[in-house]
A = this chain, B = another copy of it.
Amino acid sequence: MSQNKGVEILCIGSELLLGNILNSNAKWLAEQLSLLGLPHYLQTVVGDNHERLKNVLSDASKRSSILITTGGLGPTPDDITTETIASTFEAELIESSIIIQDIKSKFKDNFKLPKNNFKQAKIPKGAQIVPNPTGTAPGIIWKPKDDFTVITLPGVPSEMKLMWEKTIKYWLSKSFNSRKIINSKILNFSGISESKLVEMIPDILINKNPTVAPYASLGEVKLRITAQAKTIDETNYLIEPIEDKLKKLFNTNIFSNDNQTLASVVINLLRKRNESISVAESCTGGNLASAITAIPGSSDVFLGGIVAYNNQIKQNILGVPSALIKQYGAVSGPVAKSMALGIRKTFQTDWSISISGIAGPNGGTENKPIGRVEFFIKGEKYQESIQENFGSHRSRSDIQKLSVVRALDRLRLFLLK
């Protein structure tokens, strides 16, 4: 790569210009370029318009060494990325039999390939195919002129990311291996707010190499420690003392040092102890079970759960006494406890978690506002009743997600004892 020229990102799609969707692809790619230590100076968004796309491609080929595009690789007439790239650099499009075979294999047996999909098999002469393991739109790596390579990726985030991980990452590392590498380590925190965390480490946050930056998402905070050096070992040598310092300072507030999910950490802890779990959900309506079963191998410890959305189900299936519901209401400590005991007995597991709350947007009262959630965790030796008020300003989906995070985190703390 020449001096001062870098990698440029071009996202193609009218939906971005209409403001229909957030450009999460540009953010993700920018992050990946950072991790590889590649200089990235410019991002552009254009619609599915031949002339304007051509102008950007031509400009990019003058100012950047590498252009990564996303979008416009689909089978429909408004997907014009590949043909516009070919025409901008005056190359012939040729049909690739490898791509045709790949697309055919992805359609069902005996299904006639729609004519439109043949379009996806055409690439500029001399271009390298970037396989798409899950979709029908392959990408290309193509060098149409000196010191300029264009890489195309589909706009569907899951396909784009997988192709990056499987092909692009290695191609870029191999092609530009002389640069200083950037290496990051992520620490995941729970049970502490971003502002509280930041307040505790002013000295660490002004560090230069490694840098330490906080990121907050719903119910979770991350610290990213990023070091630059010539080798991975050297970056790790820079990262370790900071990591140790943070671990001492925050102890069990750090639930992972390799960006695992809370569910995954909890499953690993249960697997080590050879213990099983079941869940009884009301307001989270299956979200806790989903978070657990999102992890491959969760069946080792997770037997199942009951979504007791209706009080009748709480009574009939979980054995919650109707008098208890009448006296305390479905969202109450005693009912949550009865649900946890019920599911643990019925499913015969070592642990159980119950959740009952008011997720909104309706159903809140003065005594039990939206955002009030009751949890019960039951094990052989330990048990705990937890009440949370996540706040009635929160959305239904946020309250459901925060409840799942809290339930898993409390169980994790038990399992660490």
Please give the residue numbers on chain A whose beta carbons come within 8 Å of chain B beta carbons, in ascending order.
Answer: 14-24, 26-34, 40-47, 49, 52, 55-56, 59, 63, 74-78, 106, 108, 114-117, 133-134, 156, 158, 184, 193-196, 198-199, 202, 205-206, 213-218, 224, 226, 279, 281, 284-290, 292-294, 296-299, 302-310, 312-313, 316-317, 346-347, 360-362, 389, 391, 393-398, 400
Contact = CB atoms under 8 A, between A and B. Distances in A.
Most central of A217, A286, A287 by chain B CB within 10 Å: A286
Residue picked from A31, A196, A216, A309, most chain B C-beta under 10 Å: A309
A16 B40 CA distance: 10
Given A158-B398, A205-B77, A313-B347, A307 B289 contact: yes
Contact of A18 (B24, B30, B59, B346): B30
Closest 10 CB pairs of A and B: A285-B293, A286-B289, A19-B31, A19-B30, A286-B286, A43-B45, A286-B290, A303-B310, A304-B313, A304-B309
Main secondary structure of the interface of A (DSSP, over half): mixed
Contact of A114 (B19, B196, B286, B294): B196
A118 B10 CA distance: 37
Given A133-B393, A290-B285, A308 B313 contact: no
Contact of A293 (B16, B24, B76, B309): B309
B46 A41 contact: yes
A318 to B, nearest CB: 10
Contacts of A214: 76, 78
Contacts of A116: 195, 198-199
A76 B195 contact: yes
How many copies make up the complex? 2
A361 B295 CA distance: 10
Given A194-B74, A303-B309, A303-B312, A21 B27 contact: yes
A286 B293 contact: yes
A59 B59 CA distance: 10
A361 B296 contact: yes
A316 B317 CA distance: 12
Contacts of A202: 77
26 contacts: A15-B215, A16-B43, A17-B40, A17-B42, A18-B184, A19-B27, A19-B32, A22-B23, A26-B45, A42-B44, A42-B45, A76-B194, A76-B205, A77-B198, A78-B205, A78-B214, A114-B195, A116-B198, A156-B216, A285-B298, A286-B307, A287-B290, A297-B362, A303-B312, A303-B313, A306-B306
A44 B43 contact: yes
Contacts of A218: 158
A312 B396 CA distance: 33
Contacts of A316: 346
